[in-house]
Amino acid sequence: MSKVGKQSVAESTVVSTGGFVGRYDHALDPKKRFTIPSEWRNLMGNPEFVYVMPDPEKRCVNIIPAVEMESRLAKLRERALFDPALAPVLERIGANSEMPSLDVQGRIRISDKLLQFANLTTTVAMVGAVRMIKLWDPAALEPADKIDQIGLREALASAGF
């Protein structure tokens, strides 16, 4: 198990049985930081850091809690260290991911490369995606006060909800 400070990742990032839900729009401050809502930080166990990577399908950025990412990385660590089939995959993940820390107020700063990828210039729309948080340019989304009932119905049916 990876160590974070004096606690292991599992100890410091215990995720409750809930999930990331809702939407929060936050302005980027002059240092290009934004605040992760306290409810979501609590859900992640008030972590020192999170994993951040571009979405493989859409022009948004994903914040992945350490406990979620570590469970996936643990499976990869079981494979041979120099597995030639796995090496390019790990390099691609590593080259496109970050592990930014959160300050005591829950602010985070992701790289300019990721901000540019998702066109995050002044405001970040943080959208709960149950297991992770998606960072969007608010202009790329429906207005925050609108409910897409058809899209919701299709998503629920697709997931067998």
Decide the pairing of beta strands 23-27 and 51-54. unpaired
Sequence ranges of the domains in the chain:
3-140
Residue 139 and residue 141: Cα distance in Å, rounded? 6
Q: Which percentage of the chain shows pLDDT scores above 90?
A: 62
3-140 has which CATH code? 3.40.1550.20
In the Cβ-directed half-sphere of 46, how many Cα atoms lie within 13 Å? 5
Residue 59 has pLDDT above 90, yes or no: yes
Residues in contact with 70: Cβ distance below 8 Å, sequence separation at least 6, in sequence order: 1, 2, 9, 10, 13
Q: What is the pTM of this model?
A: 0.83
Mind listing the pLDDT tens digit for each residue in 80-129?
888 888 888 889 999 999 999 999 999 999 999 999 999 999 999 999 99
Q: How would residue 17 be classed by pLDDT, with cut points 50, 70 and 90? A: low
Which helix (H) or strand (E) is 150 found in, with range?
helix 149-158
